[in-house]
Amino acid sequence: MAKRTEPAKTVKKAVEQRADKDAIIQRILADKPKPAGDSVEQKLHLLYELQMVDSEIDNIHVLRGELPNEVKSLEDDIVGLETRMSNIKDDIKKTEMVISQRKIDIENAKALIKKYEEQQKNVRNNREFESLAKEIEFQGLEIELAEKNIKEANSQIKEKKTSLDAAATQFEERKVDLQAKQAELKDIVANTEKEEKTLFDKSEEYHAVIESRLLNAYQRLRKNARNGLAVVEVRRDACGGCFNKIPPQRQVDIRMSKRIIPCEYCGRILVDWEQTAEEK
């Protein structure tokens, strides 16, 4: 029975943590950050709060993160399909021109055959007759070749039209998908644009009060971290970024907040979970 309740407890805990973070963000947005002076503890608090703000901005980007890529991919697909359909149509036109030319060749060959047959009636010797017979035979072969070419060309046109229909179907499907994705992205941007600007402005306020050396280190860590976390809590005796165990004595030093202590494994700045929990 205990195992069955664990998922419910996990979900409840996750909801509570999200509510705690929302409360912190609201407090951070309401208050103006003050310079930390020489206090390391205050510097850590400023860095932690800046991380909270930047993480919320990251969450907004994650929320719509894949949509811009999906929209761009669909736009590229549509351009590619348009190009493909245009090329297929050009190929069909060229093949139809080949068919028209072969039909003209057949008519010309038939006319020549008729002409040579008339000339055979007036020949003076067998050599002229045989020469005309060869010409008639040659024109007959030309007609057979032209008819074969026409048959092949018609088969090609049939295949190209099938490909064109398939491309047109894909084109319409991609257009519908694109319109849906664009509408979805537009709604998300409209819903988050104001919040994102507020958070970005607050992040700039923290940038103004945090000393440049710490700020540069923080930004460098965020850039190199896949999840954008430069300042993390120590939870369950482990780094909140890489989840490696933190030695007890090092945890004591972190809890005292007398100096800025990075994780010896991932380099992230460590803060005491109990202190941040008190803020919550």
d(CA 102, CA 61): 61
Backbone angles phi, psi at 240, to 5 degrees: -75, -5
Q: Report CA 80 to chain centroid distance, whole Å.
A: 16
Query: Tokens at residue 45, please?
Result: 């608090």
- 82-121 pLDDT, tens per residue? 999 999 999 999 999 999 999 999 999 999 999 999 999 8
Lowest mean pLDDT among 3-12, 175-184, 191-200: 3-12
Q: Tell me what pLDDT residue 31 has.
A: 74
Check pLDDT > 50 for residue 11. Answer: no
CA 236, CA 277: separation in Å to the nearest integer?
Answer: 13
Other Cβ atoms within 10 Å of 107 Cβ, number: 12
**Residues making up the chain, counted from first to last:** 280
Cα–Cα distance between 45 and 202 in angstroms, integer? 15
Query: What is the reported pLDDT for 22?
Result: 66
Q: The pTM is what?
A: 0.54
Answer for the pair 235, 65: CB distance below 8 angstroms, yes or no.
Answer: no
Q: Over range 206-211, report the average pLDDT.
A: 91
Please give the structure tokens belonging to residue 181: 């994705």
Query: Beta strand pairing status for 231-235 and 269-272?
Result: parallel
